[in-house]
Amino acid sequence: TQLLEQSPQFLSIQEGENLTVYCNSSSVFSSLQWYRQEPGEGPVLLVTVVTGGEVKKLKRLTFQFGDARKDSSLHITAAQPGDTGLYLCAGEGVKAAGNKLTFGGGTRVLVKP
Amino acid sequence: NAGVMQNPRHLVRRRGQEARLRCSPMKGHSHVYWYRQLPEEGLKFMVYLQKENIIDESGMPKERFSAEFPKEGPSILRIQQVVRGDSAAYFCASSGLLAGDHGYTFGSGTRLTVV
């Protein structure tokens, strides 16, 4: 069974501060995806990382995939209240495991103005 | 979440009734996935279907739950004889081929409340 652990579970920061969310596993994934979910809505894909060591930037968000493709991090620079939400990482299994996603437990981020 | 349509958005059922949740994937997507989310938790995989085929149902409870994706029409997640523990948000996602770089597109979910 593939498991993904996210930390921290909850993060409360002031506007302008930086934050990092971690996603760790003992399993290898063919890709690692990050989603953001607003209350009452489904998750919305932010980014997919595929190659070990890969770094992707999306405005103030930086995503990194570990060299061994077992872990990932999401870093937000100069957080804004609009960044508030539930951030979910999800791993796509290697081909033999099928196409299903394994989700982490989520990190709830609150950015106070 | 434009493209993946789920209905109803909210569903209230009494214990023992049946719940039917519908999902129409994005146009051109032939892979449908159902996930369940309890409050303050991540999403748990339930089942993966292609047209007329169940590919992976390893996350489905053994009893009362079933899913289908017929040749025509939406995918249906059916829960018979609902119990309070079935109360959750149920999300459907669709993809084309392997999700790979494109990820999955999720619907807005159906929130099931069992009273």
Whether the CB of B13 is below 8 Å from some CB of chain A: the reply is: no
Residue A1: predicted pLDDT: 61
What average pLDDT does range B70-92 have in this prediction?
A: 96
Q: d(Cα B108, Cα A73) in Å, to the nearest integer? A: 26
For residue B79, what pLDDT is reported?
98
Pairwise CB contact (< 8 Å): B33 & A41: no
B76 pLDDT band (50/70/90 cuts)?
very high
Residue B1's pLDDT is: 46
Kindly list the residues from chain B whose CB atom is less than 8 angstroms away from the CB atom of residue A105: 41-42
Among candidates A98, A101, A102 on the partner chain, residue whose Cβ is nearest the Cβ of B104: A101
Predicted confidence at residue A7, as pLDDT, reads: 94
Question: Which stretch of A28-42, A68-82, A88-102, B61-75 has the lowest confidence by average pLDDT?
Answer: A88-102
- Which chain A residues are closer than 8 Å to B55 by Cβ? 98-99
Average pLDDT, rounded, for chain A: 90
**CB burial readout B50-82, b (16+ within 10 A) else e:** eeeeeebbebbeeeebebbbeeeebbbbebeeb
State residue A50's pLDDT score.
86
- Percent of chain A predicted with pLDDT > 90: 70
CB contact (8 A) between residue A98 and residue B55: yes
B24 at the A interface (CB within 8 A)?
no
Confidence of residue B48 (pLDDT cuts 50, 70, 90): very high
Q: Is B106 on the interface with A (CB under 8 A)?
A: yes
B5/A108 Cα distance (integer angstroms): 26
Contact B48 A100 (CB under 8 A): yes
Compute the distance between CA of residue B27 and CA of residue A74 in angstroms, rounded to an integer.
31
Q: What is the pLDDT of residues A25-75, one digit of tens each?
A: 988 888 889 999 998 899 999 998 888 899 999 999 999 999 998 899 999
CA distance B107 to chain A (A): 6
- Identity of residue B28: G
